[in-house]
Chains A and B, each alone.
Chain A
């Protein structure tokens, strides 16, 4: 897989004398290794594994940060799915966001990468220009700009009015708010595009040349060469984008005016989690939400991985 390839180790070029693979050899640098790993190990235990266990415990409690946690069993989870309309709303908003923003971003980034790839060598400027929003887009500043462009009298509304499409203020109309957040995500198509471009460059020219000899149309070449050859990269981008999309926060916070938008229309999952934990101090409930998020992300990732054998094509393994 191109994006994850390891540069060839030169050990294969000049074989080192074989050494016994005994325990002594294997743990040659045991002590030094753990010296180098100390900061990472401390972080992994103290800031990752430990807190994960604690948050799993907290998810079964009622905890307001100031008094001792009180064990409540599955109450938090039951409340989430049966009593809490705002929670269900946040799930709805987030699913819509993930299901629309991820495919849109993938399609746009693939299209742009294919256009850039048609002319080898001359696309450095364009590549950089298209990549820029990926760096800026996650900031509060960019989201503020976005909000101004999609509000009453903003550029987007005026342009749509100009071509006869009357839309309300996207920011203030509950049925439009999340769409401006989605478009902000699509605007940051640069990172997957750069990865697609690297993948496209790895496809051997001969495949296209052979197809041309056989009289294949551009559409056929796309379906039968580009897509299969690119499928490992599509897979990689899909996993990354999906994991990220579930955790969207800043754009929804800013565009929704800090409260999740009109009628909670931009109340994404992490925003509601923030409100539960740090505004209402329901830390047990927020922990339960975090664990549901983790499980959902794990399931989605697992499904994408499992489905990979059906549609991801590794040329060298067939």
Chain B
């Protein structure tokens, strides 16, 4: 039995090493001399070179990567606030309140889970373009404020349905109306779902590339993925240092979030089927 346990751990650790190898490789590649990145299989650099970070941080077109990071943070944090707010409100109505058309509206909400966003992309772009909002953060944040991410409405509905109804009823008997019950009873108890929503919204917005590429044109508005995009077109060795240094930095916030919240994230996936 002992030998079997050891074998099991060896097997799993080997698999973990393979799965995490690209990330470990990136961490070391970002401090390698550029000539070693693709010519040597050694994981460890022969000497520590931080030029990549220095060059990469300077960014492009006179705009530093610091600006890109700042923009990404602004968009991600605003998205989190907007998404949590709007999805919680909608979820409370679906989970707790009786109203006309609640069935069809809920079914519609579930149906939008499967909708490829490309089918709304172009008219949305036209709307924002005519409103003069292209090249601002509004098209990235406004949809979040209007709860278009049905995944999160669904996640919070599922969670709220698990909160005992007696608590609502007790609050009603004590004279709380719908709003007070929401604010003082359901909202505090739904906190775990709101935290999960916040973390996933942050990470998805941080990683989002398509929407940001569609809506942001000027380098001073660029977010981190758009800053990294500048490395996509070039494959010259000279840029490798900066490319890997900035890639590593771009992943740092997600890795930190992951380390702090890993249990919540994994449980969020297994209870709602959220995609990572």
Please list the residues of chain A having a beta carbon within 8 angstroms of any beta carbon in chain B.
3-4, 6-7, 9-11, 14, 16, 25-30, 32-34, 36-40, 42-44, 46-48, 50-52, 54-55, 58, 65, 112, 115-116, 118-119, 124, 126-142, 144-146, 148-149, 151-155, 158-159, 187-188, 190-191, 194-195, 197-198, 236-237, 240, 243-244, 246-247, 249-250, 253-254, 257-258, 270, 273-274, 277-278, 283, 286-287, 289-291, 293-294, 297-298, 301
Contacts and interface: CB of A to CB of B under 8 A. Distances in A.
Interface stretch (B47-55, B57-65, B230-238): B230-238
Contacts of B207: 136, 138-140, 250
Contacts of A112: 15
Nearest to A297: B116
Contacts of A131: 262, 265-266, 269, 276
Given A34-B93, A133-B23, 16 more contacts: A4-B158, A9-B165, A26-B98, A51-B123, A55-B122, A58-B122, A129-B16, A135-B276, A142-B251, A191-B269, A198-B271, A250-B210, A257-B233, A277-B122, A283-B126, A294-B116
Interface of B: 5, 8, 11-12, 15-16, 19-23, 25-26, 29, 37-39, 41, 85-87, 89-90, 92-93, 97-100, 102, 105, 108-109, 112, 114-127, 129, 143, 145-148, 153, 158, 161-162, 164-166, 169, 177-179, 182, 203-204, 206-207, 209-210, 213-214, 225, 228-229, 231-233, 235, 240, 243-244, 246-248, 250-251, 254-255, 258, 262-263, 265-266, 269-276
A142 B5 CA distance: 33
A235 B214 CA distance: 34
* B22, B182, B243 — most chain A CB neighbours (10 Å): B22
A298 B81 CA distance: 32
A277 B215 CA distance: 13
A144 B25 CA distance: 12
Nearest to B200: A135
A144 B86 contact: no
A4 B271 CA distance: 7
Nearest to A58: B122
A33 B25 CA distance: 52
Nearest to A57: B123
Nearest to A124: B263
Contacts of B246: 141
Majority secondary structure of chain A interface residues (helix, strand, loop or mixed): helix
A140 B99 contact: no
Contacts of A136: 23, 207, 251, 254-255
Contact of A140 (B225, B255, B266): B225
A286 B93 contact: no
